[in-house]
Structure 1
Amino acid sequence: MDSTLASIPADGFSVRLGTAWHDGTRWWAVVGGNPLGARWADPAQAVQGANILVGIINEGRGQSSAVVLSGVTDQPRSSSGQIMAVGVVELVLSGDNGGVYATKRYLGALSDYAVGDPVQLIWTMGVPTVLGKIGEVTTPPPVPPPPPPPVVASGTEVLTATASDTFGVGGWGRWAGGGEKVYSGSYGGYTLTGSFFYGAPRPALQGKTVTAIRFRVPQRLAVGSYNSGATIHLYAHTSQARPAGDVNRVAGPFDISVVAGQQPSWVNIPNAHPAFNGIAATLAAGGGVSLAGDPYTGWTSRLSDPLAGQIELDWSA
């Protein structure tokens, strides 16, 4: 009854369509009306009369083999579907391939399903099993962007001198040995002016209103009438660093009273002073501070005291 050997092609291999048949004892692959004793791809799920794909192989030296490779359907099985009706013991559903199926195979209770539910399917022996409802894909709402950083309405910008020096006697740094010490006033027929420089404009001050200015007067040097009180004159100039000649003083003066042997000290420039706005605007634009005019005085350089000539500018938006 086994016709496997007779079905072997001359070239040693072919693939044929057949049907599955169980004779009550074993499964056969029926090809061309002949039942073939076949091996079956594992796992294989045979259904009586179902179409199958059979490989016929010549293994040489009189050995023969038929292998059932897979089942065959006219259209792919549906992987999902939608419930059309809920019966007493079965579900009727439409597959995603357009077919309509009834099945008594489902996970969970029958009452878990309702008409219109989308469901996931798996097939065994040509029958669908409903694995469960397909949950709707819920797109979470977009995460709102973080709030913008709070607008800082006020603050203090500190200007530390990047250079200090004295102009006179034909240039910068030629008076009293240089060293970036600051002198102002007249002495021995020479006129001296001293300046502090602070570098580039500060972005934090752009578009802001300066509400207070504090200037750190350096240690007074033992020159001139250093053992007597004096009034020095502070101006704002427009240079970020030493220019070729003297600085251009554009705002001031603001007069500061100092004592004999003046120690480093902070002085406040009141915002009611006539020169306040001009000094504030010049400093915000990258300018500096100059001491000019009599009496003759000398002041510690920023090389000896890094805080010499430091400025604090309070601002508001």
Structure 2
Amino acid sequence: MQLKKPLSLSSVTALLLCTSTLLRPENYVSVEYLQYDESDNRISVSAPTVELSYDINTDYNIKVGGVFDAISGATPSFLKNSNGNFYKGLQEFDDERTAGSIVLTSRFENRDELYIGLDYSTESDYEAITPSMEYMHYTDSSHNTAINFGASVGLNEILVYDGEAGASANSYTENSTSYNAQVGLTQVLTKDSSLKLSAFMLADDGYLTNPHGIIVRNYNSNNAQLNKENKPDTRSAYVFTSDERLSTFDAFTYKASLNYKQSDTLSYNIGMQLYEQNTISNMSATALTVGVKYTF
């Protein structure tokens, strides 16, 4: 079902960049479980994750992570009923994903940091390998201001079916490549707050059509038929982000989290998020996470 979406950077690398100026290095193993459910049985995701971080010495750190997604539900699509008429309904699906990330952090004499990462993700109809590299430069000795530059290339292989997926369906593979570049600025304001600004450039080339996207062609004729959508082979985008809310959206989000530290080495966390969108669809979703972290 192609659970993986192109990211501007390796997911683990991006996490490191967002937090490296505020967190001290530490050795730990963490395990977390996410349960995400949308209304009307649209999407349900179960995702256990594990992450290991280890400081080899003062100059090198390695971080390894893994996630095992199980997704089920239904996506809006055009379907055909027993009378041969088309209607818009929900196409059911279920899939699983196994993904892993590894990031090596190198710290230089001036304490600048270089991140080299590799992501791998596989599903029943999708496989992706994404190498990435990021450099973070501190502008002064206080380490309160940092500039980062990064890039990644995603090599994707998509399994496409001519008709309905199944043992008797004809299938073939297509390929696409995702190029991403980022520049960012992190400014520590106080011991508890910081400001982050980022700009991204994203470009994709190759097979960009969603093989699960079904549309009706020649709708107002006697030759109406269901076909897969067909998108151009190239696209690009430019994005600027900050931690300030620049616009309002007609939605309600509530978040709550609790962290409990049992000892210097063992801690627990639980979090909940409720999302309600006040639009035509009136979609709502809940997300629950529980985790444990062992520091050594």
TM range (shorter): under 0.3
| Structure with the larger strand share | 2
Query: What is the TM-score when the length of structure 1 is the normalising length?
Result: 0.19
Query: What is the TM-score when the length of structure 2 is the normalising length?
Result: 0.20
Return the index of the structure with the highest Cα Rg.
1
